[in-house]
Chain A
């Protein structure tokens, strides 16, 4: 490969942008963790919901967005910009793009920090930002992508190192996920309705949400691990072969795992099963990354004692291993029935976010700072202190959340001796976990203290040096043999043909009608056997093809995109055809009246979904506590869906009609007046504001566009309807000596809460004609659940 080198040039890396991203990440790390400790405290001390814009519902999105996009985002960019330039032996593609990327990203973060506390939210987790900011994110991401691929294009190193594979997967996949999950139609400058609704929205949201974890918090950090860990350990990477297998299996399998956030819900069972099994299959590929990290240190374990960087990396990789073992475990439907909606999940994500991301970030920053400022680390002792207090903090946090989640789950499931009633109220279980929520504050606080110590340490380090941009002599690559692979060579070869062939047959097994499915499975087995035989005989041609692929960045990117796109297509497209009122055989949601819709938008904007689910699962304790299990059709008009992911408070799917309006009024004004010892923030401010009448007609018009069957109504009619209903509720409240404005947000929210759970039966002919039609177009496995219900359990 040295033969391609003709001349040498001197190259100055753009290390300035690395320094900028690094400092931004450290600062936003403090912000994200402070917000975390604060909202954790709010759960135990409701008095900390100091003002309307400081309520838990509004700050929790701020915490998650700050942690993911501001803290880890900036850290990821720092790592990618530093390592890509060195692995490509050239300066970043374009300095202007680098600068736009940096400043654009920070502007987005500031915009998020302002809009989220204002209650401007799309109401989907980690996708809360409003549509103008969404567009900015997409644009900046494209700027980043162009900058990155320009760098690959002009690289002076023919072959792509494994870190770059992960960066490529990150850039391509995040763009796809982000754009699809944010498709929406604006109703004003600050509000929009997503184009998906109900179960469809749920599926798209968790396809996005789960893979935000995968492709924003995992793959780029794995890439960073592959660069910085061997650099710090000064040891060769454990196994190149393992890199290949775990990279491709990871990016292919991850995409499928989204439905494991919707287990035991109204989501069709075949999707739940795919989500569960792909999560289980994901365990090995994830651990492949951990092994390649840990085993790279073989022969360098002594450094663990002396070098804080190695300490952080090893702990991070270990937490990654723990977390990716826990993930598949939590994806098993039986385990999930206990763990879901509980603190266990919260503990799980924090062992990833603090342990894996937080410690990888710290290790990388300790390694980078002396190099970027040409100096020595100010204090190894402080770094060691950071390591220990951080580790203890995470462990305390995670263990507290394990106990809390399991305890609350078990308590919620407890029944009386005759088995006919529940033993504990929701509030009982909340009181039981309060000490554990207290421990969490301490654990998180310890991690924050460690982080602040790092800030001081790095500040002193930076002050003792001066910023330097590394300059290197590199051999210029002549682009004769690289980047010449065509479509044919990319797709028509043994490895891709065997992979796609086997995949096609497996999908045939899942989707084809009876008879053909088994035939397809048998063919898949035979095909798999032949493919393995072929691989054993001609493995060197496979290896040669892969070596060729590595010197061709575009074909590599195309194949990566194909690998990540398949899972989403197969899961989402059939669901899009299912989710229309015609296809729902059981129940259909009643349309929201204008006032109820206004109330719903307030519910979404206040972030109620952060604590209240609207999904009664097909589990006995859920049905006993909250009523009949939720059906697929009961939320089809919900843009966005509000199934939720955590029950800090009880489920609200059938809250409508359970209590008097006056109860809701008193409860919203001061939750503790009706539910003693509740930790819900007060919502007295709803009483003082009028709901937004002006945009209601536009909102209903947009929903009609999205397929919600509202009858044609003009603007006056809509406003009149809303006010009439408001007057009705206000009159009802008057009877209990409560005076409210009929146009207040309070009245709108009460109207919405009283509507929850109302449905009607779809027309009979439709459900009759549906039966016995053979395989319907909405592709799904051939034994639908309902036919089984008819002939009973076997």
Chain B
């Protein structure tokens, strides 16, 4: 560089060009700064090499598919163990019913459509949900059938109830069912609604 001044006593080199009164030193780049740049580049090269050339690490879809499959099998296992008798027993367990009631009454959940008294009515007006305190069950009145509706929603969820399993989780679903069942007796007569869809085997 021809425009360098000799640096007197440790002063950095000052370029002699002046732009509207502004001058520039010509200092070496700080080492730590260069280090961060080099490290970032090295990280890029090493990471890319490991993933694409050496095949280390798994793809995102592989990881997520595996995680979800594991979760599903755990859920199925939980499901297999649930029976009508167990749910009736749970509906006589005060703690479970109380917990179910809390979930039921949470604003935005069951209470929104089925009403606080489970009648499906709010001060005379019909709510979107069906009454849960009578003996007519559109989708079947066996505890496991009710359980399935809460988990998966009605057969066509655009025309009925939403699926709650992922929102609530198995434990809270069973508590909610226990709360509903606590308004009923084991062995009471169950009728089906006029517009009931054909019954599928409850899983």
| Residue positions of A touching B, CB distance < 8 A | 1, 83, 86-87, 89, 157, 159, 161-162, 227, 230-231, 236-243, 245, 249, 264, 269-270, 273, 277-278, 280-281, 283-285, 287-288, 291, 328, 416-422, 425, 427, 510, 514, 517-518, 521, 540, 543-544, 547, 618-620, 623-625, 629, 657-663, 674-677, 732, 736-737, 754, 781-783, 785-786, 788-789, 792-794
Contact = CB atoms under 8 A, between A and B. Distances in A.
A284 B39 CA distance: 10
B40 A241 contact: no
A249 B108 contact: no
A421 B150 CA distance: 14
A787 B2 CA distance: 58
A238 B13 CA distance: 10
Contacts of B55: 783, 788, 794
A685 to B, nearest CB: 23
Nearest to B26: A240
Given A619-B64, A620-B67, A676-B107, A283 B40 contact: yes
Contacts of B37: 249, 281, 284-285
Nearest to A85: B20
Given A239-B25, A793-B58, A518 B67 contact: no
Interface of B: 1-3, 12, 14-15, 17, 19-30, 33-34, 36-37, 40-41, 43-45, 47-49, 51-53, 55-68, 71, 74-75, 78, 107-108, 112, 126, 128, 157-160, 162-163, 165-172
Contact of A788 (B58, B66, B172): B58
Nearest to A272: B60
Contacts of A280: 40, 43-44
Contact of A157 (B19, B30, B158): B19
A287 B29 contact: no
Contacts of B71: 419-420, 624
B20 A788 contact: no
Contacts of A663: 128, 162
A277 B45 CA distance: 9
A241 B29 contact: yes
A782 B55 CA distance: 11
A517 B74 contact: no
A704 B79 CA distance: 48
A559 B17 CA distance: 23
B74 A420 contact: yes
Contacts of A162: 24
Which 10 A/B pairs are nearest by Cβ-Cβ distance? A421-B169, A284-B37, A785-B59, A676-B107, A793-B58, A277-B44, A236-B23, A618-B60, A239-B27, A240-B24
A231 B22 contact: yes
Contact of A517 (B27, B34, B53): B53
Given A418-B74, A422-B166, A736-B128, A794 B58 contact: yes
Contacts of A241: 26-29
B74 A676 contact: no
A418 B36 contact: no
A372 B87 CA distance: 82
B17 A624 contact: no
Nearest to B75: A420
Contact of B20 (A87, A285, A624, A658): A87
Contact of B158 (A425, A514, A624, A660): A660
A782 B47 contact: no
A162 B126 CA distance: 72
Nearest to B161: A660
Given A421-B169, A518-B53, A277 B158 contact: no
20 contacts: A159-B19, A161-B19, A227-B20, A230-B22, A236-B22, A239-B28, A243-B24, A283-B40, A291-B30, A420-B170, A421-B170, A421-B172, A547-B1, A618-B64, A659-B158, A675-B108, A677-B108, A783-B51, A785-B61, A794-B55
Contacts of B24: 162, 236-237, 239-240, 243
A238 B22 contact: no
A782 B52 CA distance: 7
Contacts of A788: 55, 58-59, 62
B167 A277 contact: no
Given A281-B41, A421-B167, A783-B51, 17 more contacts: A87-B20, A157-B19, A161-B19, A231-B20, A239-B27, A240-B15, A264-B60, A273-B47, A281-B37, A281-B44, A418-B78, A421-B165, A543-B1, A618-B63, A625-B166, A658-B163, A676-B108
A632 to B, nearest CB: 11
Contacts of A676: 107-108, 112
Contacts of A245: 29
A422 B26 CA distance: 58
Nearest to A285: B37
Contacts, number: 206
B55 to A, nearest CB: 6
Contacts of B22: 161, 227, 230-231, 236-237
A167 B53 CA distance: 40
Contacts of B128: 660, 662-663, 736
Contacts of B158: 657-661, 754
Contact of B56 (A157, A227, A270, A794): A794
Interface core residue of B1, B23, B57 (most chain A CB under 10 Å): B1
Contacts of A291: 30, 33
A623 B72 CA distance: 12
B63 A238 contact: no
A623 B68 contact: yes
Interface core residue of B14, B108, B168, B171 (most chain A CB under 10 Å): B108
Nearest to A427: B108
Nearest to B125: A737
Contacts of B166: 421-422, 624-625
Contacts of A89: 20
Contacts of B26: 239-241
Contacts of A732: 159
A419 B23 CA distance: 63
Contact of A789 (B27, B41, B62, B67): B62
A751 B19 CA distance: 63
Contact of B25 (A240, A281, A422, A624): A240
B36 A283 contact: yes
Interface core residue of A540, A675, A789 (most chain B CB under 10 Å): A789
A25 to B, nearest CB: 22
A629 B1 CA distance: 58
Contacts of B64: 618-620, 623, 629
Contacts of A328: 40
B172 to A, nearest CB: 7
A792 B52 CA distance: 15
A541 B193 CA distance: 91
A277 B60 contact: no
Given A659-B158, A785-B60, A620 B68 contact: yes
B23 A237 contact: yes
B194 to A, nearest CB: 14
Interface core residue of B22, B41, B68, B78 (most chain A CB under 10 Å): B22
Contacts of A239: 12, 24-29
A658 B107 contact: no
A388 B106 CA distance: 45
A322 B28 CA distance: 24
Nearest to A158: B17
A287 B33 contact: yes
A584 B41 CA distance: 33
Interface core residue of A249, A277, A510 (most chain B CB under 10 Å): A277
Given A284-B33, A416-B169, A86 B20 contact: yes
Nearest to A228: B22
Contacts of B112: 674, 676
B44 to A, nearest CB: 4
A662 B112 CA distance: 13
A114 B190 CA distance: 62
B167 A789 contact: no
A660 B127 CA distance: 13
B108 A658 contact: no
A390 B172 CA distance: 48
